[in-house]
Amino acid sequence: MIIIVLSLLSLGLTISTIYLYFKKSSVDVKVVYIPEESKLPEIEVPATEENEAIVADLEASDVGISFEKFDYPTIVAYTLDVIEAGTVVSTFVVNSEDALKIIRSYQGNYLINKLSEESYFVVVEGNRKYPGLLAGKSVYTIFLKSGTNARQIFEDIINLRSKGYTSYAMKFKKGDVTYYALCLGAFPDKDAAQYYYDNVFDLEEIRKSIYVYGAYVGRVTP
């Protein structure tokens, strides 16, 4: 019964979020490729009030869900939507039992990504410690594209999550311009992210449902 309720909650959240995005007026897409981790795109287009409102609503939301058991698809559906570049985080490579303990005790925005049948990568904001668990600080991802249009990025996030992928946006600035990078997955190091890029994720299949403007492995956290 609990699983059914959580699944219905997840479905309802997805439908309501999609409705919210598509009710917004159309915005021209400004998509750019970040060729290297140290280089940011240079498009002098100010972020629109609409985009800022969308992101503010997402950043202000809390998880507010108490998971009774480890159900990965449902837990992924409630991962954070936006992470700001430079955010300090604590990361853990753990089994499903410890992953659930971290998420339940934290009660805030988190990321989770399945690394294997037995291990999961969990990210929570701030400096966190849990007995018996070694905390890391690095998060790597596969950047699919970036641009100033938050609405389009978050529509892509929903699309990717509906297919079971961990997806979110990294928010960063170049001068006075705010950008949003579409992220696929979360990994503890560059080698793990590169392995998924080369061997696990089917980027050609992903390109059939969302527009990808160059994909590469990069770092999210400082």
pLDDT score recorded for residue 67? 75
Selected residue with higher pLDDT from 52 and 197: 197
Q: pLDDT tens across 20-77, in order? A: 343 333 333 333 333 344 333 433 333 455 455 444 444 444 445 667 789 998 898 8
d(CA 222, CA 47): 24
Q: Which of 216, 185, 199, 169 has its CA nearest to residue 121?
A: 185
Question: pLDDT-derived band of residue 214, with 50, 70 and 90 as boundaries?
Answer: confident
CB-CB neighbours of 32 under 10 Å: 19
User: Model-level pTM?
Assistant: 0.72
93, pLDDT greater than 60: yes
Selected residue with higher pLDDT from 15 and 153: 153
Q: pLDDT tens across 138-167, in order? A: 999 999 999 999 999 999 999 999 888 999
d(CA 40, CA 73): 33
CB-CB contact of 187 with 116 (8 Å): no
Q: Which tokens is 220 given? A: 């999210």
Mean pLDDT computed over every residue of the chain: 78
CB-CB contact of 103 with 90 (8 Å): no
Query: Which residue in this structure is represented by tokens 């905390």?
Result: 135
d(CA 152, CA 26): 10
CB-CB contact of 134 with 91 (8 Å): no
Q: How far, rounded to the nearest angstrom, does the alpha carbon of residue 56 sit from its chain's CA centroid?
A: 16
The alpha helices in 108-168, defined as continuous H runs, are: 150-162
Selected residue with higher pLDDT from 52 and 88: 88
7, pLDDT greater than 50: no
